[in-house]
Amino acid sequence: MENSVVVRDLVKRFGTFTAVDRVTFETLPGEVFGFLGPNGSGKSTTIRILCGLLHPTSGRAEVAGFDVVRSPEQIRRRIGYMSQKFSLYNDLKVIENLRFYGGLYNVTGNQLKERIDWALNMAGLTGREESITGTLSGGWKQRLALGCAVLHRPPIIFLDEPTSGVDPLSRRRFWELIQELSAEGVTVFVTTHYMDEAEYCNRLALIFRGRLIALGTPSQLKFNSVNGDLLTIEAAPLGRALELAKAARGVRDAAVFGNALHIVVGDAEEAMPTMQAAMKAGGIQVRRIARIRPSLEDAFVALTGDQRNGSEAPASEVHPEQP
């Protein structure tokens, strides 16, 4: 299949600051492509370039077969975009927002009626067409915004942290809508800070300090990112346990995850009795110690930690093999 988005050695500088640094990836039709990274990592800048809103400093990017520099208007007609901040008109009715966006995308006549009916049904707002948009809950607003973004049936949609600030049930329903769009062949390019949401993506790209540091499926990234075995330790007091863990022999990394510690060691079977003894000697009550599989959050911490510690391995070297 032809790639829906192609990015090659993309660079964007603002003065002396490099926001996007030689980023390369591609997406396929119908793929849910997750773009992960901390604030300031270059995610939004990359999306703005792909939407034809910013010119890259160097490199190449194509969206729906069009070059972002030469044909930005062609791209904007073929994509949908939904920002993190709610961007519809709160003082308009639901139906008025839909009609307004239909006009922007030049959707008219019977096609507009059909698409509005589809959007209302998709968003669960059938029967609430006359409601003032500002009175809707956060979850309803996000679904309405998605309906407006895809009113013109774009083959590619960009969602910038679309579920930020909405409740868990609304987030789940929103992701069901994303999967429905994917099943219809729409490429969904989404950024998120929620690791559980990232699990829903077909593939993930992790960007840090402007560089793409990992690319693969969620299972691939989890399987290959942690350099060693992972232990969980439920202990009290947790802060003191963390100090002892970091000082223990053979510990490569240690961090607090909820009410437990996650500790990276070379060999779990050798490390568990050693860790148990170190905790006991330090007066720590250990309720549980066990080897676990890395989560996506563990992978995220490990990969960004490598970069903070000075590792400059390009993304191609951390492309994982299928476990």
Task: Specify which residues 23 forms β-bridges with.
Answer: 10
Q: What is the pLDDT of residue 311?
A: 47
Burial class (CB in 10 A: 0-12, 13-18, 19+), 131: middle
227-293 shares the fold of 5-221: no
Rounded Cα gap, residues 232 and 241, in angstroms = 12
Q: Determine the length of the chain.
A: 323
Rounded to whole angstroms, what are the CA distances from 245 to 50, 78, 255, 287? Answer: 44, 52, 9, 15
- Closest by alpha carbon to 75, among 67, 85, 84? 67
* Fold observed for domain 227-293: Alpha-Beta Plaits (3.30.70)
pLDDT tens for 233-283 read 999 999 999 999 998 888 988 889 888 999 999 999 999 998 999 999 999
- Closest by alpha carbon to 78, among 63, 68, 61, 67? 63
- Closest by alpha carbon to 296, among 211, 197, 228, 166? 197
User: Residue 162 contacts by C-beta under 8 Å, 6 or more apart in sequence?
Assistant: 82, 84, 142, 145, 146, 174, 190, 192
Q: How far is CA 322 from the centre of its chain?
A: 21
Q: Which of 66-70, 155-159, 266-270 has the lowest mean pLDDT?
A: 266-270
Mean pLDDT of 50-68: 95
Rounded Cα gap, residues 125 and 131, in angstroms = 9
**Domain ranges in the chain?**
5-221, 227-293
Rounded Cα gap, residues 84 and 40, in angstroms = 15
Rounded to whole angstroms, what are the CA distances from 264 to 83, 229, 246, 317? Answer: 37, 6, 10, 21
Which strand (E) or helix (H) includes residue 241? helix 238-247
Q: Label residue 24 by pLDDT band (50, 70, 90).
A: very high
Written as one letter, the residue type at 208 is F
- Phi and psi angles of residue 321, each rounded to the nearest 5 degrees, phi first: -85, 155
* Fold observed for domain 5-221: Rossmann fold (3.40.50)
Rounded Cα gap, residues 59 and 165, in angstroms = 35
**Dihedral, 13, 14, 15, 17 alpha carbons, nearest 10:** -70
Q: What is the pLDDT of residue 306?
A: 56
pLDDT tens for 105-126 read 899 899 999 999 988 988 888 9
Kindly report whether the global pTM for this prediction surpasses the value 0.85.
no
pLDDT tens for 284-322 read 999 999 999 988 888 888 887 755 555 444 443 343 333
Rounded Cα gap, residues 159 and 192, in angstroms = 9
